[in-house]
Structure 1
Amino acid sequence: MADKLNDIMASWSASRNVLLYGPPATGKTRLISELFQALDTPPESQRGILLDPNDAASPLSRPNQEITIPQPVKVVWTTFHQSYGYEDFVLGLRPDITTEGTRLQPWAGVFLDAALELDDPSSEYKSVVIFIDEINRGNAARIFGEFMTFLDFDYRDDGRIPLPLPLRQLTYKDGRSEKIFRPGGKKSDIPENFRFPRNIYIVSTMNSVDRAAVPIDSALARRFDRIEMRPNLDVLAQNWGLDKTTIPKPSEDNWETLSPLVTGYLLLDRLNIAIASDFGPEFELGHGLLTSVVSNRTVEGQATPTVEENDTWRSLAAIWDNVLFPQLEDRYSGRPEQLIDLLRVDTAPSLGDYAWKLRTSMSSTVTTRVLSPVRLSELNIDVIQRSLRWLTR
């Protein structure tokens, strides 16, 4: 993922926000969580060689990631959802009950609080990075409101056309606003015609498949550099300890000898080729859906307990039942013939039982083209092996 981190840093250096998009389980949230940790606990040096005298084996090392935005950096994490609003992200009014009555007090949301942080002369921070997970799960246009303008760095302080901050909810006196409540018990005020600080950056994720999510409109999308996160078979190969150069192309001569991990690798490859052809690459299955298959592999220098091959087959079958097949049903909803063809129901192996069949009727006058329900993980091990191996061809 180092290349994606470099892309994010390059976008920030060019005064652009970042949107990671792609199917589920392609590592979007994991990538930004790693970046969150890196910025929250930055390396001692931005570049060059680090010396760790306590590490006798490898005292010299390179920094993991060059940080190209002003430091120190404050990081903030938020997740958009259907109930998330302008009041959470920009500015909301909350009742304050006192002996003198009830008064609405302004409370800063995530975006405005970042601006107040950098305007605070007592703050140690030089930049703020806002991490937004699932940006299209909320109504992003409503959440940003008029602050969508300030996603464009040209309209911020030191930009080409700096604009004043439009906060009509606030009252002003003698050129200063009323006190704005902030997280952590802080309070701030701003001058009239306050300009949005420059060094506030956003990195967000978007699920390209979720039909329940709100589409990102063009006015918002053009203010982000889009970085595509695709399913990556190399991650599976590395996770499972497979040598890509030795993975065979399934054929009539070798399909019955494929190992469970090679089968999983080839299965994901074939399914995604079919899905991309039918619906487009944004609907492919993420490699993360398969990384939990139990197997014999080394994790961070430590070998995992020995796993029997049949246990790996059953683990792969369980993931098929609980994860992969529901995803296929969702994508092929309303297209039963294409799903039947994908599962090779009409071209099943000539010998032995096969997991996927068409439903049959006790009446000889009724013909069906409907899949018979089946739980692959509950079948005999030889049927699991034969069925999954056949799907790779």
Structure 2
Amino acid sequence: MPSSHQDNTERELQVIKSTFENNNELSYDIFQQMPIGICITDPKGYFTDVNTTYCDIYGYTKDELLGKPFLTVVPEESHGVLKKMHDDFMQREYELQGKWSVKNKQQEVFEIITNAAFLYDEKTEQKRKMTLVVKAKELELTIQRLKTTIDILENKIETQDIANRLAEHDMRNRIGSMVSIADILSKSDLDETQLKWVRMLKDIGNDTLNLLTSAKDYAQMERGNYKPNISKFDVLEVIATTTSELKDLIEEKEASFELLHNGNQVEPEEDTLAMQGDKFYIQHLFQNLLRNALEASPKGHTVTISIETNNVFVIHIKNTGVIPQKMRSNFFDKYTSEGKDRGTGLGTYIAKMIAEIHQGNLTFLTGKENTTTLILNLPKTILV
């Protein structure tokens, strides 16, 4: 009998669903070589497509499964329950996740972890169900395979000029899919080491997607001809949003943030500090600097963000730990990184460019009291 949903945890598939809804056939071609089983079934529960990994999990060839009911891989005693669940799924169009018992071609029964999303093709008006499958006993191996795949793609991207990355449309789809799959796995029963790997996968994927999306702008910044998209916004809110997005890393590092304005502790929900600037890239600046501060800090420490606006507009980001001596002379150069499990070495380089397009600058102090402080100087005239 199928087991109950794994701790009733929610598993989001919004990114994968969006990718499929935008271009079902192209997107599925991209999934064919993914190290996770994927099948597509029609409203009656018959296989319309499966990828190579799905076939490997069950021991069938693709031809042996296409056109057959999904109950082919379900123990007979569970046919009634799972058939009803499939029918309900197609009618209600919800997302489904769980841990189930299945059988392979040799009639061996084993457990799988699954996630499913409803797909609808507006052109053909066809409804389909996409199911992602991982063998419960091979969860750690699947995570390692995903990491290897992302590493290969990331290395390929790093050998190219940033400006050329924008053209890598298929690369964005692949990495976006892997980020979504990593998110699925992060909500499974993982030990501390496995969870760290999954979070690392998500970080690498999200960083690479940001680079691909903004490649043209970064190239213009490097040439000195980027024109910021100026708008008015609350910088405290931007910082709060960024720290919220770093929730997984904060939990992993058992860390916390302290936000000060002119020496007083502030709450973004209650206080505001309006400025004019390119909001998208100011937020990306904080994403890079705050993540770096967290990654460089030992477990259990606080990262302090101190904003001064009395006579100047300066933001200090202070963390425990020092920058290695050999990195200090080229700290803001491209691809400078050391002592991290992940990272492209582009974070501080991009942050410095963003500071400069706002007529500011970014410097650092390190070593005093075993701490490092990033110092962001901005013109006071951009404060509202």
TM-score (norm 1): 0.29
Q: By percentage of residues, which structure has more strand?
A: 2
Select the structure with the greater relative contact order (CA < 8 A; seq sep ≥ 6): 1
Which structure is larger by alpha-carbon Rg, 1 or 2?
A: 1
Q: By percentage of residues, which structure has more helix?
A: 2
